[in-house]
């Protein structure tokens, strides 16, 4: 039985398409860098350390660079030895803006800071947007342990 010229052409086309796909994969391998996949999102880590008597240490750390954009999330990673009396405050330096203020806070967690839209009369509209920032952040802790206390990772972008 003889093969149809049509079947031969279709088979050759399928082989060429598969080869083109494989060649494309070799030219640009799968990316493992998430920043390359989400180029608009940036992150800044702020590590707060302090020394002193357990339960009475106070410390703070600035981000070191201005965060000019919107904050989408903050991840707080506390030390394993953190005390239950730890107080934490995250603020923008100027203009002064408090993002988080919590007493006796010691649990690793994700935060999603947002601002509420308001009407022209100043009434809340129950609709929220990411918080805009224009300066450095400060993470301050009190009534806590010595050593590395918390690492705050701020995820932000335009």
pTM of the model: 0.72
What pLDDT, on the 0 to 100 scale, is given for residue 33?
46
Burial label, 66 (beta-carbon count in 10 A; 0-12, 13-18, 19+): middle
111 HSE (CA, 13 A, CB side): 23
Q: Residue 104: what pLDDT?
A: 93
**Torsion (CA) 24, 28, 33, 36 in degrees, nearest 10:** -90
pLDDT at 28 over 70: no
How far apart (Å, rounded) are the C-alpha atoms in residues 2 and 57?
A: 87
Q: In this predicted structure, what is the pLDDT of residue 1?
A: 57
- Cα 56 to Cα 7, 34, 79, 100, 108, distances in angstroms: 81, 39, 16, 20, 20
Categorise residue 147: left if φ over 0, alpha if ψ from -120 to 50, beta otherwise.
left
Mean pLDDT score of the chain, rounded to an integer?
Answer: 85
Domains and CATH numbers, the chain: 34-157 (2.60.120.260)
Higher local confidence (pLDDT), 107 or 9: 107
Q: What is the pLDDT of residues 35-82, one digit of tens each?
A: 445 678 999 999 999 999 988 999 999 999 999 999 999 999 999 989
């Amino acid at each position: 039985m003889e093969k149809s010229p049509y079947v031969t052409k279709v088979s050759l086309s399928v082989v060429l398409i598969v080869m083109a796909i494989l060649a494309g994969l070799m030219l640009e391998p799968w990316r493992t860098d998430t920043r390359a996949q989400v180029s608009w999102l940036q992150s800044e880590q702020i590590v707060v350390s302090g020394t002193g008597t357990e339960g009475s240490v106070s410390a703070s750390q600035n981000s070191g660079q201005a965060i000019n954009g919107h904050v989408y999330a903050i991840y707080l990673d506390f030390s394993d030895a953190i005390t239950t009396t730890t107080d934490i405050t995250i603020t923008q330096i100027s203009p002064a803006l408090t993002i988080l203020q919590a007493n006796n806070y010691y649990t690793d967690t994700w935060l999603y800071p947002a601002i509420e839209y308001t009407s022209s009369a100043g009434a809340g509209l129950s609709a929220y947007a990411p918080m805009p920032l224009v300066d450095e952040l400060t993470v301050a802790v009190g009534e806590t342990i010595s050593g590395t206390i918390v690492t705050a990772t701020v995820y932000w972008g335009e």
